[in-house]
């Protein structure tokens, strides 16, 4: 055994090269769509103020890992939540633990990568983008768009004008607005919140808009009318077939046959969405954690980063 490499939050964040994570997450989504991933549905222990989820997975070519993550409502801050935890990476050949990473930045970046891949696959040429939220996930989404050099107008909308203004101040390519102003006229809407109820009605969406919803751990982030009218995409079949916390609240009454796996679009086996509305509903999948953890671990080993225990 060569020891377990432990990385703190800053070290984990530093290893999350956005373009490498984007490529790794794409590979994981394709593997999911082909049935090549071994991962049970997420389970969770429920506490009065939140949940503790367990998410193990094996992805061929990327690795074997498990995440323990807590999702708790932020006290006194309706619509906001925290995601804290650890990701343990194992050697896929002998089962030895090789790394322990901070789950918060890893989850934020791999989730933003998944959402961005949905835009690339389903709405690749937007004229205007909206990002809803002002927390960790909205920040990760803006940072990834900046890393990709997106050069179309980006509007950030949220319930707290001060937090939205503070987020936009760090990203000069973005402007602040209310939720309705951000959504109306946007070609792509990234929903990055801890909302327990829909953020906006169908009527605010432009015809042909694409919605990427990565929040909604405690309720629906997208309304039923939008879901009914849209072509639907997800990471895995259980997004509709499994109950929460594994499946999505928004997809519980949806025929699973309506849901297309994003990976099948990424590798060309499915043509995509057509001309109408589309929704990518992410529930978060352990395969994406494996992908991001593999990127961080390779970077850490190459640079000798982290504390190695048990050598």
Domain boundaries, the chain: 4-106+287-309, 113-284
Rounded Cα distance, 253 and 91, in Å = 39
pLDDT band at 223 (very low <50, low <70, confident <90, very high): very high
Distance in angstroms (rounded) separating the CA atoms of residues 167 and 180: 18
Q: Which residues pair with 88 in a beta bridge?
A: 66, 100
Model confidence at 211: pLDDT above 60: yes
pLDDT at 216: 79
Tokens of 101: 């990473």
Extract the tokens encoding 233. 């995409």
Q: What is the pLDDT of residue 30?
A: 98
3-class secondary-structure state, position 51: strand
The CATH number given to 113-284 is 3.40.50.720
Edge to edge, what strands does the sheet with 231-234 contain?
174-177, 154-157, 129-132, 188-191, 210-213, 278-281, 231-234, 259-261
User: 239-252 burial string, b = 16+ CB within 10 Å, else e?
Assistant: bbbbebbbbbbbbe
The pLDDT value recorded for residue 79 is 56
Confidence of residue 1 (pLDDT cuts 50, 70, 90): low
Express each pLDDT in 114-166 by its tens digit.
999 999 999 999 999 999 999 999 999 999 999 999 999 999 999 999 999 99
CA distances from 148 to 17, 60, 89, 112 (A): 12, 27, 28, 12
**What pLDDT is stored for residue 311 in this prediction?**
64
Tell me the Ramachandran region of residue 69: left when phi exceeds 0, alpha when psi lies from -120 to 50, beta otherwise.
beta
Superfamily of domain 4-106+287-309: ornithine cyclodeaminase, domain 1 (3.30.1780.10)
- pTM to 2 decimals? 0.93
Neighbours of 172 (CB within 10 A): 8
């Amino acid at each position: 055994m060569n020891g377990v490499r432990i990385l703190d939050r800053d070290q984990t964040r530093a290893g999350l090269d956005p373009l490498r994570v984007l490529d790794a997450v794409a590979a994981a989504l394709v593997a999911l769509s082909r049935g090549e991933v071994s991962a049970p549905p997420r389970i969770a222990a429920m506490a009065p103020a939140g949940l503790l989820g367990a998410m193990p997975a094996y992805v061929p070519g990327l690795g074997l890992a498990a995440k323990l993550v807590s999702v708790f409502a932020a006290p006194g801050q309706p619509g906001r939540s925290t995601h804290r935890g650890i990701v343990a990476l194992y050697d896929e050949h002998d089962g030895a633990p090789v790394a322990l990473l901070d789950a918060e930045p890893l989850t934020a970046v791999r989730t933003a990568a998944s959402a961005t891949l949905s835009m690339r696959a389903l709405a690749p040429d937007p004229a205007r983008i909206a990002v809803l939220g002002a927390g960790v996930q909205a920040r990760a989404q803006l940072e990834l768009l900046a890393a990709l050099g997106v050069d179309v107008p980006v509007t950030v909308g949220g319930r707290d004008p001060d937090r939205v203004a503070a987020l936009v101040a760090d990203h000069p390519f973005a402007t602040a607005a209310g939720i309705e102003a951000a959504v109306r006229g946007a070609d792509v809407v990234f929903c990055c919140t801890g909302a327990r109820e829909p953020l906006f009605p169908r009527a605010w969406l432009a015809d042909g808009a694409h919605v990427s919803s990565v929040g909604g751990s405690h309720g629906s982030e997208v309304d039923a009318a939008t879901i009914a009218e849209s072509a639907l995409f997800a990471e895995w079949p259980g997004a509709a077939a499994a109950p929460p916390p594994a499946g999505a609240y928004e997809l519980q009454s949806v025929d699973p046959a309506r849901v297309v796996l994003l990976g099948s679009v990424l590798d060309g086996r499915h043509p995509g969405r057509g001309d109408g509305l589309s929704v990518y509903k992410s529930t978060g999948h352990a395969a994406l954690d494996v992908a991001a953890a593999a990127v961080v671990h390779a970077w850490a080993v190459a640079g000798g980063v982290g504390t190695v225990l048990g050598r």
